[in-house]
Amino acid sequence: MLDPELPEGRAGEIVSRIRQSVDTDGGTWDSEDVWGRRRLAYEIDKKTDGDYRLLTFACEPATLDEISRVLKITDGVMRHLAVRRVTSAGRAPAPAHEPVAAGAAAEEE
């Protein structure tokens, strides 16, 4: 979730930096879904709205750790959350040696 007051160019820079990290470390980029501006359940830094983006990609756990570290210190990123995709309902997640997927959402780990 990005600060809704960021210029569109800055939001694009943040996403392209994540994509570059994924590509550089041998991961695969699937998609970027712009969910748009939405009202927050509670204020964050005196802001009532957030610009939501869902980034879907596969990468190694070390790459995901680096991306999370960078997002924590990047101005304009209000919150982020990395989750592992499960291939079908009720099945266990993939083993730890397989790539993981991440998406930006409303909570931070």
Q: With 90 as the cut, is the pLDDT of residue 18 above it? A: yes
Domain range enclosing 34: 8-81
36 inside domain: yes
**What confidence tens digit (pLDDT) does each residue in 42-100 have?**
999 899 999 999 999 999 999 999 999 999 999 999 999 988 877 665 555 555 555 55
Q: What is the pLDDT of residues 21-50, one digit of tens each?
A: 999 998 999 999 999 899 999 999 899 999
Alpha-carbon distances, residue 67 vs 25, 87, 92 (angstroms): 11, 23, 25
In a domain, 34, yes or no: yes
State the Cα–Cα distance between residues 57 and 49, nearest whole angstrom.
Answer: 25
Q: Is residue 23 part of a domain?
A: yes
Instruction: Give dist(CA 28, CA 102) in Å, integer.
Output: 11
CATH number at residue 23: 3.30.70.60
Calculate the alpha carbon distances from 14 to 3, 21, 41, 78, 103 in Å.
11, 11, 24, 12, 14
Looking at the domain assignment, is residue 88 inside a domain? no
Q: How sure is the predictor about 8, in pLDDT bands with cuts at 50, 70 and 90?
A: confident
Query: How many domains does the chain divide into?
Result: 1
Kindly state whether residue 63 falls inside one of the protein's structural domains: yes
Q: Which residue blocks in the chain are alpha helix, DSSP H?
A: 8-24, 61-73
